């Protein structure tokens, strides 16, 4: 939650791609952005063609498209090379009989192969499903089951977490590794790539055809498969230009994992649609390694997240002063509220403003942003991009005045908007319950200059270190533990991670509360679901507050935690 101030920080960038915000908004048309693509005339498009092949067939053929490093591997690839490798993978898939509309998942640590696979999937018209590498069996199973994926690209280290025997639709496991002993249904990625042709007639798609499926969590039910389509490229390209401010010579680094939407929309599509050189760093977060990455590649544009900035800030200014970051000219943030304090720190150590951007998995691309050419109000998410209208609505869908807190909503539609929730049309409809609006689930207010200020979620979704966690998914895992009778999960405010996950647990008869039991339960979630979804804190209770219909009241748990009044308890069980 950020409080309003009228402090303004003037632009630091001399010549941004978007010179005048009001002017750009005034006569903006998406059709004009589209007209920069060749498919404007044919109507047929392919994201991977526009991101890679188009450059490979131009004077950018030998330009470095990808710098990859993870502490062990250190590699560089040109647009021409990525075209060939993704073509090969497209052929591998076709030989397996995989094509248009099939769901093909990727579940492996970051590596160049991951990106070749992703682009190859898209080239043959299949729908890519990237999974966060830290997911454990239950998380993997839920997503593959719901999407009925036919193939998965993975590494031997992840293989034990894929319950193939329980997934009848999953026919092919493509393994990226060395000295593999293959079992039935398994394919050796490197071997198959070697024997595949590097020529491919890619599938030309309709703009509304499926591109990518990102699973994300709500407050109830299993994770939802958010479907994006090839048309999203219009938004990725445009925001890459005006928000990331990408230009021909930029070296760009987005720190997000491709298992999350930021790591694809802005880790793959936006930079490459704009022909920029893209830096990908694998391995774990370490402040010194991150600064070294900025220095080594001469990163000019950098997109990261508040938790990372806070951790870098915590690592001290002496560390950063040992690196040459003079190439850096534009810094951006997404995923959670960006503290004004962090913006001020950025001014000091990077000599740069950090530009906050707001969007969601469902929106596919940036919607409310701070631009290089405009004054920043620290603590504000910025203003809607040209082509997008945002408003604050009350619970009946009426537009509220400036400074009134309410539901942050976006006027429909924009190119990268989700087109479907997989297998769940009614969930999709919920977002559009006020005619003509997409309701985000965030609460915010708008000031009289049109800047938006994030206040919190209106639902129980937890945002820990910029990663979205659904309490239901964690609770479901917790109650699988033999000692747990009931569990309720909330986000607890945390100075570093924004929120951490806290679980309230009622034990089954015969179990006694102890520190060991807490640790055991945490481990159970870590190894069964995912480390990032495991509670950092557990509190045992004799009983949890429930509605008469038996639903655990997270609102009451949260009030307990924050020492706030519990509010209306009239629906409570007893």
Contacts of residues 344-350 at CB distance under 8 Å and 24 or more positions apart, as own/partner, are 344/378, 345/309, 345/313, 346/309, 347/9, 348/317, 349/317, 349/320, 349/321, 350/325
d(CA 190, CA 407): 49
**Distant-in-sequence, close-in-space partners of 140: CB < 8 Å, separation ≥ 6:** 107, 131, 161, 162, 163
Binding to ligand WT7 (CB under 6 A): which residues in 251-270? Answer: 261-262
Residue closer to ligand WT7 by CB (options 174, 390) is 390
Residue closer to ligand WT7 by CB (options 175, 417) is 417
Minimum distance from residue 390 beta carbon to ligand WT7 (Å): 13
Of the candidate spans 10-18, 435-443, 483-491, 516-524, the one that interacts with ligand WT7 by CB under 6 A turns out to be: 435-443
Residue closer to ligand WT7 by CB (options 117, 368) is 368
Phi (first) and psi of residue 291, to 5 degrees: -60, -40
Q: How far is CA 392 from CA 108, 190, 401, 413, 550, in A?
A: 40, 51, 8, 17, 33
Please state the separation of Cα 537 from the chain's center in Å.
25
Dump strand ranges (E) for 240-386.
251-254, 277-281, 301-304, 330-333, 354-358, 368-369, 383-384
Residue closer to ligand WT7 by CB (options 91, 264) is 264
Minimum distance from residue 565 beta carbon to ligand WT7 (Å): 24
**Rule CB under 6 A: is residue 300 a binding residue for ligand WT7?**
no
Minimum distance from residue 399 beta carbon to ligand WT7 (Å): 20
Dump strand ranges (E) for 314-436.
330-333, 354-358, 368-369, 383-384, 390-393, 406-411, 420-421
* Structural tokens at position 447: 């000031």
Which of 50, 113, 442, 499 binds ligand WT7 (CB under 6 A)? It is: 442
Of the candidate spans 39-47, 189-197, 356-364, 419-427, the one that interacts with ligand WT7 by CB under 6 A turns out to be: 356-364
d(CA 409, CA 200): 42
Residue closer to ligand WT7 by CB (options 159, 242) is 242
Mark 163-202 with x for binding to ligand WT7 (rule: CB under 6 A) and - for no binding.
----------------------------------------
Per the rule left: phi > 0, alpha: psi between -120 and 50, beta: everything else, 180 is beta
Binding to ligand WT7 (CB under 6 A): which residues in 136-165? Answer: none
What one-character DSSP code corresponds to residue 138? H
Residue closer to ligand WT7 by CB (options 125, 387) is 387
**Rule CB under 6 A: is residue 440 a binding residue for ligand WT7?**
yes
User: Cis omega before residue 242 (within 30°)?
Assistant: no
Which of 441, 470, 471, 488 binds ligand WT7 (CB under 6 A)? It is: 441
Per the rule left: phi > 0, alpha: psi between -120 and 50, beta: everything else, 423 is left
Mark 378-417 with x for binding to ligand WT7 (rule: CB under 6 A) and - for no binding.
---x------------------------------------
Residue closer to ligand WT7 by CB (options 166, 341) is 341
Residue closer to ligand WT7 by CB (options 67, 132) is 132
Residue closer to ligand WT7 by CB (options 85, 262) is 262
The answer to whether the CB of 281 falls within 8 A of the CB of 302 is no
Phi (first) and psi of residue 346, to 5 degrees: -60, -40
Residue closer to ligand WT7 by CB (options 83, 468) is 468
d(CA 445, CA 35): 35
Minimum distance from residue 514 beta carbon to ligand WT7 (Å): 35
Mark 216-245 with x for binding to ligand WT7 (rule: CB under 6 A) and - for no binding.
x-----------------------------
Minimum distance from residue 533 beta carbon to ligand WT7 (Å): 13
Which of 238, 359, 371, 414 binds ligand WT7 (CB under 6 A)? It is: 359
Mark 453-482 with x for binding to ligand WT7 (rule: CB under 6 A) and - for no binding.
-x--x-----x----x--------------
d(CA 93, CA 355): 40
Mark 308-347 with x for binding to ligand WT7 (rule: CB under 6 A) and - for no binding.
--------------------------xxxx----------
Residue closer to ligand WT7 by CB (options 337, 384) is 337
DSSP, residue by residue, 97-128: T--TT-EEEEES-S-HHHHHHHHHHHHTTPEE
d(CA 546, CA 120): 49
Of the candidate spans 24-32, 343-351, 354-362, 512-520, the one that interacts with ligand WT7 by CB under 6 A turns out to be: 354-362
Buried b (16+ CB within 10 A) or exposed e, 497-534: bbbbbbbbbbbeeeeeeeeebbeebbebbbebbbebbb
Minimum distance from residue 35 beta carbon to ligand WT7 (Å): 27
Which of 361, 407, 416, 530 binds ligand WT7 (CB under 6 A)? It is: 361
Residue closer to ligand WT7 by CB (options 48, 226) is 226
491 strand-pairing partners: 501
Which of 104, 279, 360, 409 binds ligand WT7 (CB under 6 A)? It is: 360
- Chain residues that interact with ligand WT7, rule: CB under 6 A: 216, 261-262, 334-337, 356-361, 381, 440-442, 454, 457, 463, 468
């Amino acid at each position: 939650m950020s409080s309003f101030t009228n402090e303004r920080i003037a632009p630091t960038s001399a010549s941004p791609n978007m010179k005048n915000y009001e002017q750009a908004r005034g006569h903006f048309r998406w059709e004009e952005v589209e007209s920069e693509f060749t498919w404007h005339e044919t109507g047929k498009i392919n994201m991977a063609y526009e991101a890679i092949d188009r450059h490979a067939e131009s004077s950018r053929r030998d330009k470095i498209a990808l710098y990859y490093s993870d502490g062990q591997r250190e590699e560089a690839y040109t647009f021409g090379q990525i075209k060939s490798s993704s073509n090969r993978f497209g052929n591998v898939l076709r030989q397996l009989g995989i094509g248009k509309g099939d769901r093909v998942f990727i579940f492996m640590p970051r590596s160049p192969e991951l990106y070749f696979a992703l682009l190859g999937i898209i080239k043959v018209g299949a729908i890519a499903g990237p999974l966060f590498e830290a997911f454990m069996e239950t998380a993997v199973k839920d997503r593959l089951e719901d999407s009925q994926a036919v193939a998965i690209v993975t590494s031997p280290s992840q293989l034990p977490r894929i319950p193939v025997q329980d997934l009848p639709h999953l026919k092919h496991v493509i393994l990226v590794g060395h000295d593999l002993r293959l079992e039935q249904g398994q394919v050796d990625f490197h071997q198959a790539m070697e024997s595949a042709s590097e020529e491919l007639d890619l599938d030309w798609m309709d703009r509304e055809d499926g591109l990518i499926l990102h699973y994300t969590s709500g407050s109830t039910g299993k994770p939802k498969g958010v479907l994006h389509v090839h048309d999203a490229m219009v938004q990725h390209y445009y925001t890459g230009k005006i928000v990331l401010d990408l230009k021909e010579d930029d070296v760009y680094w987005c720190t997000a994992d491709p298992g999350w939407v930021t790591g694809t929309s802005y880790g793959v599509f936006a930079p490459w649609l704009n022909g920029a050189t893209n830096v990908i760093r694998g391995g774990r977060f370490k402040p010194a390694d991150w600064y070294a990455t900025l220095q080594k590649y001469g990163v000019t544009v950098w997109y990261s997240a508040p938790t990372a900035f806070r951790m870098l800030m915590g690592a001290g200014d002496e560390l950063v002063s040992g690196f040459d970051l003079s190439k850096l000219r534009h810094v951006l943030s997404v995923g959670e509220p960006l503290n004004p304090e962090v913006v001020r720190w950025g001014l000091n150590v990077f000599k740069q403003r950090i530009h906050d951007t707001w969007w969601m998995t469902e929106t596919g691309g940036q919607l409310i942003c701070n631009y290089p050419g405009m004054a920043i109000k620290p603590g504000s998410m910025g203003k809607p991009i040209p082509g997008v209208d945002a408003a604050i609505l009350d619970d009946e869908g009426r537009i509220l005045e400036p400074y009134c807190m309410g539901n942050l909503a976006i006027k429909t539609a924009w190119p990268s908007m989700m087109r479907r929730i997989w297998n769940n049309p009614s969930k999709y409809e919920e977002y559009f319950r006020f005619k003509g609006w997409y309701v985000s689930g965030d609460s915010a207010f708008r000031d009289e200059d049109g800047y938006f200020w994030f206040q919190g979620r209106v639902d129980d979704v937890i945002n820990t270190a910029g990663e979205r966690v659904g309490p239901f998914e964690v609770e479901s895992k917790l109650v699988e533990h033999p000692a747990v009778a009931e569990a309720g999960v909330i986000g607890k405010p945390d100075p570093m991670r924004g929120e951490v996950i806290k679980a309230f647990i009622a034990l089954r008869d015969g179990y006694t509360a102890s520190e060991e039991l807490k640790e055991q339960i945490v481990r159970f979630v870590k190894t069964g679901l995912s480390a990032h979804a495991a509670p950092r804190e557990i509190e045992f209770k004799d009983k949890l507050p429930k509605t008469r219909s038996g639903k655990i009241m997270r609102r009451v748990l949260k009030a307990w935690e924050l020492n706030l009044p519990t509010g209306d308890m009239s629906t409570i069980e007893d």
